[in-house]
Amino acid sequence: MRRLIVVFLVLINFQSKANDFDWNPVLQRAYTSLWKLRLQETRALLASQRNTSGIKLYLQSYTDLIELMVTEDKTNFEQFLDAQSSRLTLLEDFPDTAPEKQWIIAEMYLHLATAKLKFGHEVKGAWNLIKASKLLENNYKKFPNFIPQQKSLGLIHIMVGSMPQNFLWVAKLLGLKGSVKNGLQELKNVNKNEPRYATEASVMYYLTHAYILGFTPVVFQDYEQFLDKNDESLLIQFLGVTTYMKEGNSSQANVLLKKCDTLNAQTGYWAFPFLQYLHGEIEIQKGNYTLASRHYQVFLQQYKGFNFIKDTYYKLFLCLWLSNEDSKAVNYLEKVKTQGSTIVESDQSALRFAEKFKLSTKSNASKILMKARLAFDGGYYQKAKEGVLDLKESYFFDNAEKAEYNYRKGRIHQKLHEITLAEEHFERAIVLSQNASISYGALACLQLGYIFQESGQKVKAKYYFEKVLTYSKHEYKNSADNKAKAALNTLI
């Protein structure tokens, strides 16, 4: 009888271990709810699972991370760090023979890295990223045929592959390797062979094109189909809004944003105040300053986070300044200096603007150029062109504004396929930016690189992409260098 009991207990233990990393229907529903941004439903489904499986821990970590990314709640951040430590401890007792174990541990370190970077803890976040990378590389050596880990490896390889030149020595010192091309292939492999993780892999794939490589017509068409397929996912539709806006298509972004509003109003979807900020962005691009200001004010009332606060006060300044209410407008620049954080580039840029802005040095030409810039950002290229038609370089007081004027005109001509004029203005922006920490020279080089890459002139494209990396201490250095480095990788 004792022997029978022992065998029975062994069988139970074996069954438990065999199911440590299984996806059952409830966990799959929780995962689907997570991507829809129905986080309360996700947590309820996970709580209904009595066994503490590896997949359950993975989904708990993912749910907490997404909530943090949406809310930026500092109290929840501290709780997340404690919960993550407990989850990692629990995972250590799981069987080493399962390829999922080290992969999920690595995923949790990636989640930690993402959260810490979001909350401004860059060094600690970087170490978590390095730890995740090492775990994944070792797991790949032990289980080379385990495809889900390629989702995580692909992301890291893309990040390392697009790292600016001046940080490459750090990657080499720490043994980090990667290329954008290989990372994209790994994501495509997951999408093709692991349907359960296809959504995640697809999001990473399209965001790489949106924020690093740029979209080709074919990839963008695929992306639009992906958005249509996931029309009930508030998270994916939100990403669609931001990528459309980044592509300079605020009209289409507005269509998706209204869809997000509809989803967000339904019971079960997580509150998402950032949608109000996006409404403000679209309206200010269209020149509807009163309506834009209203959306920005609602965002500030509802939002409890710390990013985009300085940028929002900067935009409230613009709404008044561009409406010729200068004396009221400057009050918001004081808010830019004292409120929010400087973690994201838009907040950093807003602070620099507030610190440098002098009402006495700004002419009507400055307002016209700003209106054209905002219209351009929204994809209203003809309106932007008409706005700057009568402007001349001599209307501006300093080299920074003169360089910006040429860069903005270059971008407008580029988007309207007037390439010769675009090249002339970009070259002038480069000349005006020499021997100064002005961003427009680097940005002009980046766009010239894209122009020559598109026309098949690889030598010229390489020259301008490499020239981007030579500019130092300008406000868009990280993003410009990332894009130039990624573009250089595609030329190899």
Residues 469-492 have pLDDT tens digits of 999 878 788 889 888 988 898 887
Same domain for 295 and 320?
yes
Q: CA-CA-CA-CA torsion for 306, 40, 66, 188, nearest 10 degrees? A: -150
Q: What is the mean pLDDT of each run of 10 residues along the chain (492 residues)?
A: 37 44 94 95 96 95 96 93 96 93 96 93 89 94 96 90 59 67 94 94 94 89 96 95 94 96 92 96 97 98 95 98 95 96 92 89 89 96 94 91 96 97 98 86 97 96 95 83 86 77
Compute the distance between CA of residue 128 and CA of residue 133 in angstroms, rounded to an integer: 9
DSSP of 294-325: HHHHHHHHH---STTHHHHHHHHHHHHHTTT-
Same domain for 324 and 409?
no
> Given this model, what pLDDT does residue 30 score?
97
234 assigned to some structural domain: no
> Given this model, what pLDDT does residue 176 score?
67
Same domain for 382 and 445?
yes
Q: Which of 337, 362, 387 is the last residue of a domain?
A: 362
Q: Which of 488, 491, 490 is closest to 168 using CA atoms?
A: 488
Domain that holds residue 128: 1-146
What is the chain's length?
492
CA-angle at 467, arms to 466 and 469, nearest 5°: 70
Contact 432, 441 (CB under 8 A): yes
168 assigned to some structural domain: no
> Given this model, what pLDDT does residue 16 score?
39
257 assigned to some structural domain: no
User: What SS3 class is residue 401?
Assistant: helix
Same domain for 5 and 135?
yes
339 assigned to some structural domain: yes
Q: Which of 146, 168, 191 is the last residue of a domain?
A: 146
User: What SS3 class is residue 203?
Assistant: helix
What is the number of alpha carbons within 13 Å of residue 154 lying toward its C-beta? 26
Same domain for 378 and 470?
yes
211 assigned to some structural domain: no
Q: Kindly state the tokens that stand for 458.
A: 């690889």
Domain with 477 in it: what CATH number? 1.25.40.10
Give the global pTM.
0.85
Same domain for 66 and 5?
yes
Same domain for 138 and 53?
yes
83 assigned to some structural domain: yes
Number of domains composing the chain: 3
What is the number of alpha carbons within 13 Å of residue 225 lying toward its C-beta? 7
